[in-house]
Structure 1
Amino acid sequence: MNLLLAEDDALLADALQQQLLNASFKVEWAENGAVAEYLLRKQDFDIAILDLGLPMVDGLTVLKRVREAGRTLPILVLTALDALEHRVAGLQAGADDYLTKPFDFPELEARLQALLRRGRPASQTQQLRRLTLDRAARRASIGGEPLELSPREWTLLDLLLAERDRVVTKQQIVAAWGSEDTSGGSIEVYIHRLRRKLEGSGLAVRTVRGLGYLLEATSA
């Protein structure tokens, strides 16, 4: 995924670039608003992170101009401005999400992935090995046999299938569930249940220690 990072703090930008690269993003850095606006108008990015306190042209102005130019990519505002009026102004100007500093990178990554999923024109029906997922009907089946899933199991399977080439973190799962529970215990319970229900599908959920979970095809 191609990502534009518009951030004037060089130390923060450097640290973020390394973390984003490790999360499989291709990152281009803009250190001021003028460069950010030019790049957003001229290049195709999948998503952008935009600081509001940019020099030369402030981030709010960049956001308004980019939206007026018809650019529809997801834009996450990342700023130290945490007052209600700033959040409202950012969202009204066209931001898709608003995260204040200081922040934890796993939350930033989860929000980016959620924005990407929201904007992705995913097929309503997806099939992998013997598993079929019908998103419109919220039904799943293995070899034509219906798969009984709770709402959380459905969301978990949908997320794992949509991100099947990537490790899904616990933070992403919590964000997809819309849950305030950030403990790993309940997630592990649902992973265990889903593993049992996927038996015979030709798919398995693998734990990637310290990172999260990955849906992969089995050799059988």
Structure 2
Amino acid sequence: MGVKLYAMDFSPPSRACMMACEIFGVPFEKIPVNLFNNEHLTPEFLEKNPLHTIPVLEDGDLILYDSHAILAYLADTYAKDESWYPKDVKKRALVSQKLFFNVAIIFRRLRIISYYVIQKGRKTLEQDWLDDIVEAYGFLEAFLSKTKYIAADHITIADLAILSFLTTLEYILPVDAKKYPKTSAWLEDFKAKPYAKKYNEEGAKILFNYINDHLTS
């Protein structure tokens, strides 16, 4: 049967969900939603998601928005084992903690830049924004100094969520491999994975180019 995923390739949360579908073997119909043409504001789309954000997942009669909720649902429903989002309460809490970190820290860093540059017409990147990105890299380095991956010694959905944002942030401000060796190694490892090349690589470039075009135009 498969699921429907309303998405755009440049959207980091959309990319995370497409990677999860690939990993978990979930056939999906990608339904493009062109934000620039306000397709997310149509009555039909607002009926599915009053927050008018992407991605949106439809699985039968279930409609989910927010990529972190979608990632958790896909892992619980379709993953062949529970390692991606463990059933053990304490292990799951550690993954959830890093998902919330992504919302509060990583997402916010990129969202501020895209909002002010694309929507508000800023032509320069504020030093505070760049400093915030550096701070986020430091947080990730601390996490990866304790576990092999973001939330555990194995890959979880938290890695996918953060990867989708970090691959655009690194275009804006490259990760210093000398200062953040574990973060740099983690990022390079994930960028080489087949599912990341298929569903994340090009979209990350598209978003950066779109931001950069607004800075230089």
TM-score by length of 1: 0.31
Q: Which has the larger Rg?
A: 1
Structure 1 or 2: larger helix share? 2
Q: Which has the higher relative contact order, 1 or 2, with Cα contacts under 8 A spaced 6 or more apart?
A: 2
